[in-house]
Structure 1
Amino acid sequence: MSTPASYRFSQPIVGMIWAQTNQGVIGADGGMPWHLPEDMAHFKRVTTGHPVVMGRRTWESFPEKFRPLPDRTNIVVTRQATWASTPEASGAVVLDSVEEALVEAQFSPGGNEVWVIGGGQVYAQAQEHCNVAVITVINTDVAGDTQAPTLGQEWSFRGATPAEGWHTAKNGTEYRITLWAKGDTEFEAPE
């Protein structure tokens, strides 16, 4: 399997993308409990040029110099009505529901692919609207306070890279990238 960023989807997609441990941990104390530059590069390849939808805490977890994520419409969901007018929200499109965020994203540049990037509550609320999940599985066991969403029976495994075993990052961390889809979502692998 090639990387998901090199696939061509035959219809618009609303995808979720995250990294998790073998046990499903995606976060600890507002951040990721691992350092995997190769996954950050993969995330950038997949999402660049497309809108990203996230919760306020995910936005705040990015270092200020990386906000907003470049070359992407950054849509932040929060129930804090006054947050949009704060300096911290600069560069974000701020909405108060995942449903509104997904509609806004589809009309943003690159809206034929929309990527939900976290956190846990946003994944849970968006999952019913999504048809693709790109998941980096990290071969580690670390404690965390945020779990990955559970994909239901409507999701099917479509492949992984590498197909067997693990990639080994420069820092020695083992990982693999998996692709899941819902229903009849179709895509073509690169030639």
Structure 2
Amino acid sequence: MITMIAAAAENNALGKDNDLVWHLPDDFKRFKQLTTGHHIIMGRKTFESFPKLLPNRVHVVITRNKTYQPEGVVVVHTMEDALAITKDDPQPFIIGGGEIYTIGMQYADCIELTRVHGKFDADTFFPEIDLAHWEIENKEMHGADERHEYGFTYLTYKKK
């Protein structure tokens, strides 16, 4: 099962200037819990936004740059190549950014979306989820609190 995982605002904003526009510790914790032990597929800019490699995950980076080869990363040039690398993983995760999510939508079986309640100025966006092809399987609300400036909802979509 190929899963896309993202946190996107109500206007589908993902981030700006290669960074997130909110800080949600519980969402980070959920991301870590779901993706640990799996392959994580991402674009080069998403990879470069990390301060270091995420522990206990195989990093697969898609880039057009034929000479790009950071240490500790599997570099590929297409989504098909990325998915071929992950064939023995029962649940690889597509983790962004916007262009990679758009490409990944046709391959994904599941979307783990954290819908952040608010609209944000952004330069990167999550693609629209076509409800003719996707249905919500699970929904879990989380209000704003002392650690979370914004409320959010965990949504699990499955392809119909």
Aligning the two structures, in what range does the TM-score lie when normalised by the shorter sequence?
over 0.9
The answer to whether residue 104 in structure 2 is matched with residue 126 in structure 1 is yes
Match of 1:103 among 84, 99, 118: 84
The answer to whether residue 8 in structure 2 is matched with residue 15 in structure 1 is no
Match of 1:73 among 54, 58, 78: 58
Match of 1:189 in 2: none
The answer to whether residue 73 in structure 2 is matched with residue 92 in structure 1 is yes
Aligned equivalents of 2:99 and 2:10: distance in 1?
A: 20
Aligned equivalents of 1:97 and 1:159: distance in 2?
A: 31
Structure 2 spans left out of the alignment, 5+ residues: none
Tell me the SS of whatever aligns to 2:139.
strand
For 1:145, give the aligned amino acid. D
The answer to whether residue 36 in structure 2 is matched with residue 36 in structure 1 is no
The size of the alignment, in residue pairs, is: 158
Structure with bigger gyration radius: 1
Aligned equivalents of 1:144 and 1:80: distance in 2?
A: 25
Q: Alignment RMSD, CA only? A: 1.2
Shift of 1:144: 0.3
TM-score relative to the length of structure 1: 0.79
TM-score relative to the length of structure 2: 0.94
Match of 2:153 in 1: 176
The answer to whether residue 109 in structure 2 is matched with residue 155 in structure 1 is no
Match of 1:52 in 2: 40
For 2:9, give the aligned amino acid. T
Match of 1:83 among 62, 65, 68: 68
Deviation per CA, 1:128-176: give whole Å up to 9, x if none: 11100000011122200111111222111112113xxx33342332111
Structure 1 spans left out of the alignment, 5+ residues: 1-12, 184-191
Kept in 2, the 8 Å contact 1:76–1:95? The answer is yes
Q: Which has the higher helix share?
A: 1
For 2:76, give the aligned amino acid. L
Shift of 1:27: 1.2
Runs of 4+ in 1 over 4 A off after TM superposition: none
The answer to whether residue 120 in structure 2 is matched with residue 135 in structure 1 is no
Aligned equivalents of 1:90 and 1:175: distance in 2?
A: 35
